[in-house]
Amino acid sequence: MNSEDPLSRRDFLAASSIALGAAAVVGAEASAAAPPAKLALHGGEKAVVERLPKHIRWGAPEKERLDAMIGQDTLFYWKGPQTTLLLERFRKICPLPHATSCSSGTAALHIAVAAAGIAPGDEVITSPITDIGTVIGVLYQQAVPVFADLGRDTYNLDPQDVERRITPRTRAIIAVHLAGNPCDLGALKELADRRKLVLIEDCAQAWGARRGGKPIGTEGDFACFSLQNSKQVTCGDGGLVASGDPTFGPRLQQFGDKGMDRLASGGLFETFATNYRMSEPQAAVAAAQMERVESIAEARSRLGRILNDELAGVAGVDRPRVRDEDRCSFWFYMLRIRPEAFRCDRAEFVKALAAEGAPAAAGYIPVPLYGNPVFQRHGFFAGRWPVKEMGLTDMDYTKVSCPEAEAILKTCVRLMIHEGMTETYVRSLAAAVRKVAAHYAT
């Protein structure tokens, strides 16, 4: 394409300054050899000349399933053909003997917490950088989310900090595979086994990810997935929860279905639960989407690795760490910038990236979960928190501190990645980061 000349020239300039940097030559000499190109923000040429590739997410396969669904005489989930097909296809992605569809990722996590028998006052350790859906079910079961700190370049739970936060009340760990990068499940599982804790995997952002050779979700006691619109695959809203555990697994269905075990039947309610059922229209779309997971994850993993490789050695830019043997399905690509390395703040850095044509955003969630007003006020149930009033917990979210998580949120920059992007496009995103970093380098 005719945009390649200016791009490859910039690539060459940036690459030569990296090479000089790698040879332990100070930045000043590198920039003297190759003055940074003029920022698009200041009227220069854009580093990303290609338009943002279209993200086509559904089509003929989904239509075909919806057609089949509309010809049915029931749209109810139980033994519904779309739900049956969805679960059959899901089992190929996450091969566990027990699986249930449900209305959201939040529902999947709530079902897991309930099926694990987490009781009022029990503590569940998890990440403070996640969707609030990770802990909604914990709180509804009157259990207590305990936040542990994260790895500086994985943005996932630091197993050592998790261990430090274990108390006699700790019952479970929810490992969130942020942005599709597998947590250190080796360490977390060893810890969970040693301290007799339930391990729940929040795979909402990790469709198609793998740890070592293992599909994500298959190492913990529960796997929870979201099919919300923003995830790698979707049916608008939906979720899946699965387990290989012979005690927990058979409980999944009833905890999403008003506490009724449809296999035992009899119409009696043995347990207390809510209605988290997914209907056949959602299941139809979700079943078709299951067939896309592998190619989406393969593409995102490949493109994310290219971006990571292209950003090696950029001074002031810290890249996410993905183990060679793992597959990160990059729900997004998140790097961190070192404030002292640049003459601008993060907002300006991102403004400059956006001007270069890169789909970039400053930050992720505004504050760690515990920093949100509802946590700071302990006001979960009509402004009150029964377990605290009953003396079952002395948790005070105003005193919680996870310094690395807080630092991550202050320094992170996100770049959009999706499977419709080409390698050339992704390389131009890296060129934009290198150009902006070189311009503002101190």
Neighbours of 357 (CB within 10 A): 20
83 or 205, CB closer to ligand PLP? 205
β-bridge pairing 144-147 and 170-176 = unpaired
128 lies in the site for ligand PLP, by CB under 6 A: no
243 lies in the site for ligand PLP, by CB under 6 A: no
226 lies in the site for ligand PLP, by CB under 6 A: yes
The interface region with ligand PLP, picked from 127-135, 188-196, 258-266, 298-306 by CB under 6 A, is: 127-135
234 lies in the site for ligand PLP, by CB under 6 A: no
Q: Which residue is nearest to ligand PLP (CB)?
A: 105
Distance CA 302, CA 76 (A): 39
**Single residue of 17, 82, 83, 130 touching ligand PLP by CB under 6 A:** 130
114 or 317, CB closer to ligand PLP? 114
Burial of 315 (0-12, 13-18, 19+ CB in 10 A): middle
217 lies in the site for ligand PLP, by CB under 6 A: no
How near is the Cβ of 412 to ligand PLP at its closest, in Å? 15
**Single residue of 17, 156, 218, 228 touching ligand PLP by CB under 6 A:** 228
How near is the Cβ of 286 to ligand PLP at its closest, in Å? 12
134 lies in the site for ligand PLP, by CB under 6 A: yes
Three-state SS for 203?
Answer: coil
**Single residue of 121, 215, 239, 304 touching ligand PLP by CB under 6 A:** 239
Q: How many residues bind ligand PLP (CB under 6 A)?
A: 14
How near is the Cβ of 311 to ligand PLP at its closest, in Å? 24
205 lies in the site for ligand PLP, by CB under 6 A: yes
How near is the Cβ of 195 to ligand PLP at its closest, in Å? 23
User: Cα–Cα distances in Å, from 194 out to 163, 189, 205, 272, 385?
Assistant: 11, 8, 27, 31, 31
How near is the Cβ of 209 to ligand PLP at its closest, in Å? 12
Three-state SS for 209?
Answer: coil
Amino acid identity of 47?
Answer: A
Residues 135-194 within binding reach of ligand PLP (CB under 6 A)? 176
226 or 289, CB closer to ligand PLP? 226
Residues 140, 119: contact at Cβ < 8 Å? no
Residues 310-349 within binding reach of ligand PLP (CB under 6 A)? none
How near is the Cβ of 20 to ligand PLP at its closest, in Å? 40
List, as one string, the DSSP characters of 54-110: P-----HHHHHHHHHHHTSS---STT-HHHHHHHHHHHHHS--SEEEEES-HHHHHH
How near is the Cβ of 141 to ligand PLP at its closest, in Å? 16
Residues 346, 337: contact at Cβ < 8 Å? yes
106 lies in the site for ligand PLP, by CB under 6 A: yes
101 lies in the site for ligand PLP, by CB under 6 A: no
Neighbours of 270 (CB within 10 A): 11
Query: What sign does the CA torsion over 37, 40, 41, 43 have?
Result: positive
Residues 246-285 within binding reach of ligand PLP (CB under 6 A)? none
Distance CA 8, CA 310 (A): 13
Neighbours of 191 (CB within 10 A): 20
Burial of 9 (0-12, 13-18, 19+ CB in 10 A): exposed
Burial of 61 (0-12, 13-18, 19+ CB in 10 A): middle
* Residues near ligand PLP (CB under 6 A): 104-106, 130-131, 133-134, 176, 202, 204-205, 226, 228, 239
